[in-house]
Structure 1
Amino acid sequence: MAEVIKSNKPLTVNPLKVSQPMGAILAFLGIDQAIPMLHGSQGCSAFAKVFFVRHFREPIPLQTTAMDQTTTVLGADDNVTQGLETIIEKRRPRMIGVATTGLSETQGSDIQGLVKRYCQQHPDETTALVPVVTPDYSGGLETGYALAVEGMIRHLVPEDTSRVGEQAQQINVLAPSMLTGADLDYLRDLLESFGLRPVILPDLSDSLDGHLMDQDFVPVTTGGTPVEAFESLGRACRTLVIGHSLHRAADLLKARTGVPDLRFDSLMGLAATDQLVQALHELTGKPVPARLERQRSQLQDAQLDSHFMLGFARFAIAADPELLFSLSALVAEMGGEVVAAVSPHKAHILSRVPCEQVVLGDLEDLENQARAGRAQVLISNSHADETARRLGLPLIRAGWPIYDRLGAQHQLWIGYQGGRDTLITLANQLLAVSHRHEIPARVSIYSKPEPTCEVPHAALETG
């Protein structure tokens, strides 16, 4: 059990935290034909959009209520109404996710009441509206994402517990913010191999997987979970819940639909994947596919090959709570030691991170902890690049955002294949570091010098 302590600094020096509104935007982007709208200033949405574009390298649909100095003081209720009317009239989305910011929350805006009043004034409107309270000064990416998922369930899933199991092959999947598009694709294939039909909420693997389109410009999300799918969640046989952050959303879904659920804190590594595969085998009664057995043996072989490098190796990890727990558990499974663990905000799962203590802080705290613990490898997002340079350590990029490398959404972390690839990546980084410190080869002073192709100085002068 890790001791969770808060950094006693009066300010953040090198930020690790990603704000709640950005987490809510990420969740809304996993819904087909949706548009997120931030209730705040234009700068709030512009700053968020820059990070999304740099991470996914795709056009990102995002709108704002454009609060200014006057509306911040006198009230910005009309901005919400006008924003909804304009978006619906010009873009005709299937859903609008309305998330608040620190500005609108400090101003005292009642976003739930405003959206409810708009729906009462427009009873024939077919566009689904989902308001979410996500101030910047509380939580982080993970909590904002979870609040958006909970809000979608509350506003889009009908209360009916009488239809459980009507779709015997359907399984609902509440997917957390730590899963990449490749992770979701792998999970979908895994569930389908047991004869199940997954409905993933939200499905970023379909909307932000980097596919090309025939149209030059589309003002809404293309791909993702259809809004109509929310009405069918109550007919599933089970709900698969991944990540502790989505437990409140899972409780709400279970209360509304009566569908029982299976909950997993992580899907990284051999033990966690074994638990999922065993649960699916017991649920469906079908044998484990031979393809999965082969993938499992490949992961075991990778464990054998890499344990010489990873055993007793020292890692420093900074990430959102669930990703921090998952990565730390994977490292500990291989006998590695987490000497520095930093999270941007508090969560119950942090106490279960396999290390001595978890610091609630920033990347400066990570740097100090890593230096004190003589870490060999850093694992964090792209913001930790300068930290790794100062420490002279390799950086494994994980989490959000990753803006200085391509293919973040196509990187697989979970399951047998993801575990194999991650272990190989970690081992290769440690091998590269160890080779730097090898004794250089001795060259005898009597050895014949290598021929050179130097041009005589006189020839250079004469041309």
Structure 2
Amino acid sequence: MAEVLKRSKALSVNPLKASQPMGGSLACLGFDRAMPMLHGSQGCTAFAKVFFVRHFREPIPLQTTAMDQASSVLGADENVIEGIKAIAEKSNPALVMVLTTGLAETQGADVHRNVREFREKYPQYAHVAVVAVNTPDFTGCVESGYAAAVYELINALVPEAAVAGTKPGNRQRQVNVLVSPMLTPGDLETLRHLIEQFNLRPVILPDISDSLDGSLTEDEFSPVTIGGTPISEVYTLGEAKATLVIGASLFKAGELLEQRTGVPSHHFDHLYGLQANDALIMALAEISEVPVPAVIERQRAQLQDAMLDTHFMLGQLRVAIAADPDQLNAFIHLVQGMGAEVVAAISAANAPILATTPVASIKIGDLEDLELLAKEHKAQLLIGNSHTVASAERLGIPVLRAGFPLYDIIGGYQKTWIGYRGTRQALFDLANLVINFAHEEIEVYHSIYAQKPESERNTSSATCH
């Protein structure tokens, strides 16, 4: 059990976390023909858009209610109502997600009431799904904002089984998959392929592998997302055979879905490492009633071989990690499973999963905290997003880039971390960083009895004479 050390500073120095509205926007971007709308100032939305564009290197649909000084004081209800109407009229979306910011929350906005007022005022847009989410950016992080968006979407769009007439198992091959933001588009493609090998049909919620995968389309421009989970699929969740909930941050949303539909859930904290992937494979074999395919058994054997190959480099390695709670927990299990020691663990926000993580302590803090702890405990390797690269350079240690945002490398958002193959490659990457970076090299020893070079001997003789 880890001791969670809460923030004690009055400010953030070199912040680690990104905001909840960005997390909610990311969840919305995983649905087809969707549009996130941030209820706040234009600067809040522009800042989020820069992060997304630099990370995914794709055009990102994002709208704002453009609160100004007057609406911040007098109220901005009309901004929300008319903003939804303008998006519905001009962009013809399937989903509009209204996400609050710190400004709107401080002002006292009630976006859920605003959505009801929009429905009453503009019934002609009843075909557009509208979901309101409270995501103040003065608390939480990307992960908590993402989880809140998934929860509110299920709460708003998935009806009770008794009302909808749905029954678990009506679609015998369908499996609902709720995925944490720690899963990259590359992870989701791998997960989809893995589930399909058991003759199951996954409905991934949300699916950024389809909407933010970097593929070219025939459309020159689209004001809304292209690809992702269709909203029509959300209405079928109650007929699936099972639900996989990946990431502890989504357990609350998974419980709501199970309560609404009666579809049984299987929970996984993460999918990093041998043990976690074994649990997933056994669950899929149980759900599908299909034996584990030979190709997956081979991938498991390959991972075991990689663990043997890399344990010399990773055993007793001192590692510092900075990430959102789900990913922090996943990396701690991964490196400790290889015999490494986590000497510094920094989380962007607090979460229940942190207390169960197998380290002595976890600090809720920023990259200054990471740097100080890593230096104090002589960390040899750092794991974190692109903001941690400067810290690693100052510490003189290598860094494994992971998380959000990754803006100083190409294709970071497509890297696969999960599954036997993803874990295998992660171990190779970690081992290569250790091999290619000098750690605590023994200094060259020059004996006082060694014979001096001839040039030095001649100089000495000349001096004596």
TM normalised by structure 2 equals 0.93
**Distance across 1 between alignment mates of 2:90 and 2:289:** 50
**Distance across 2 between alignment mates of 1:429 and 1:24:** 34
1:238·1:260 contact (CA, 8 Å) conserved in 2?
A: yes
SS in 2 for 1:200: strand
SS in 2 for 1:318: strand
What amino acid does structure 2 have at the position aligned with 1:131?
A: A
1:237·1:259 contact (CA, 8 Å) conserved in 2?
A: yes
1:158·1:256 contact (CA, 8 Å) conserved in 2?
A: yes
**Distance across 2 between alignment mates of 1:114 and 1:140:** 25
* Structure 1 residue 217 displacement after superposition: 1.3
Counterpart position of 2:346: 342
2:85·2:122 contact (CA, 8 Å) conserved in 1?
A: no
* Structure 1 residue 441 displacement after superposition: 12
Q: Which one of the candidate residues 408, 412, 415 is aligned to 1:404?
A: 408
* Structure 1 residue 437 displacement after superposition: 3.2
* Structure 1 residue 430 displacement after superposition: 0.7
**Which moves more between the two structures, 211-220 or 146-155?**
211-220
Deviations along 1:246-274, whole A, 9 cap, x unmatched? 11111111111111110000110001000
**Distance across 2 between alignment mates of 1:128 and 1:441:** 72
SS in 2 for 1:433: coil
1:182·1:410 contact (CA, 8 Å) conserved in 2?
A: yes
Counterpart position of 1:143: 144
What amino acid does structure 1 have at the position aligned with 2:149?
A: A
Describe how 1:121-270 pairs up with structure 2 within 5 A: 121-125=121-125, 126-161=127-162, 162-270=166-274
2:73·2:107 contact (CA, 8 Å) conserved in 1?
A: yes
Query: Structure 2, unaligned stretches of length 5 or more?
Result: 454-465
**Distance across 1 between alignment mates of 2:444 and 2:228:** 54
SS in 1 for 2:436: helix
What amino acid does structure 2 have at the position aligned with 1:89?
A: E
Deviations along 1:261-310, whole A, 9 cap, x unmatched? 10000110001000111111122221111110111111111100000010
1:140·1:344 contact (CA, 8 Å) conserved in 2?
A: yes
**Distance across 2 between alignment mates of 1:440 and 1:433:** 18
Cα 1:438–1:410 change in 2 (3 A) is farther
* Structure 1 residue 352 displacement after superposition: 2.0
Matched, 1:62 2:59: no
Counterpart position of 1:86: 86
Cα 1:326–1:76 change in 2 (3 A) is same
Matched, 1:24 2:24: yes
* Structure 1 residue 218 displacement after superposition: 1.1
Structure 1: 4+ residue segments shifted above 6 A: 438-442
Cα 1:441–1:188 change in 2 (3 A) is farther
**Which moves more between the two structures, 433-442 or 372-381?**
433-442
**Distance across 2 between alignment mates of 1:435 and 1:8:** 33
Deviations along 1:352-404, whole A, 9 cap, x unmatched? 22211100110000001101111000001111111111101111111111111
Q: Which one of the candidate residues 300, 304, 316 is aligned to 2:304?
A: 300
Deviations along 1:309-352, whole A, 9 cap, x unmatched? 10000100000000000000000100110000000111111112
* Structure 1 residue 11 displacement after superposition: 1.1
* Structure 1 residue 434 displacement after superposition: 3.2
**Distance across 1 between alignment mates of 2:352 and 2:76:** 35
Give the CA RMSD over aligned residues. Answer: 1.7
Deviations along 1:117-146, whole A, 9 cap, x unmatched? 111222231111010010011111111000
2:406·2:413 contact (CA, 8 Å) conserved in 1?
A: no
Matched, 1:367 2:368: no
Describe how 1:373-392 pairs up with structure 2 within 5 A: 373-392=377-396
What amino acid does structure 1 have at the position aligned with 2:113?
A: G
What amino acid does structure 2 have at the position aligned with 1:400?
A: F
* Structure 1 residue 81 displacement after superposition: 1.4
Counterpart position of 2:106: 106
**Which moves more between the two structures, 267-276 or 156-165?**
156-165
1:24·1:146 contact (CA, 8 Å) conserved in 2?
A: yes
* Structure 1 residue 17 displacement after superposition: 1.0
* Structure 1 residue 163 displacement after superposition: 1.2
Counterpart position of 2:458: none
Q: Number of paired residues?
A: 446
SS in 2 for 1:165: coil
SS in 2 for 1:99: strand
Matched, 1:120 2:120: yes
Query: Structure 1, unaligned stretches of length 5 or more?
Result: 447-463
What amino acid does structure 2 have at the position aligned with 1:119?
A: R
Q: Which one of the candidate residues 431, 435, 440 is aligned to 2:435?
A: 431
Counterpart position of 2:97: 97
